[in-house]
Amino acid sequence: MRRMVREIGWAARGACRGSDPELFFPVAPSAEQEARAKAVCAGCPVLDDCRAYAVRAAEPDGIWGGLTVRERRGLRFPAGWRRRAAG
């Protein structure tokens, strides 16, 4: 628990800290909702920390660091990564 608190201590300075969590973790995601969440992230002072954490932790849900789950997976597993590893 202590490690987690230390690792995400930057979150207290996030632009999202006063936002409704539903904006970043919607029940029924839409392109409009995604754009609104990403707009909050765009001006965030801890964007890089948030994004790095989400990619490293493989966060399975929500918008983190201005990226969707699919976008984060793309950073972790670039197109063709299996072919390169097998070849």
* Residue labelled with tokens 């029940």: 27
**50 annotated ligand-binding residue:** yes
Delimit the domains of the chain by residue range: 2-86
Please tell me the number of Cα atoms within 13 Å of 19 on its side-chain side. Answer: 22
**10 annotated ligand-binding residue:** no
Average pLDDT, integer, range 41-51: 96
| Its pTM surpasses 0.85 | no
The H-assigned helical ranges of 2-80 are 2-7, 21-24, 31-42, 47-57, 69-76
Average pLDDT, integer, range 4-28: 86
What pLDDT does 1 receive? 42
Residue 3: is its pLDDT beyond 70?
no
**19 annotated ligand-binding residue:** no
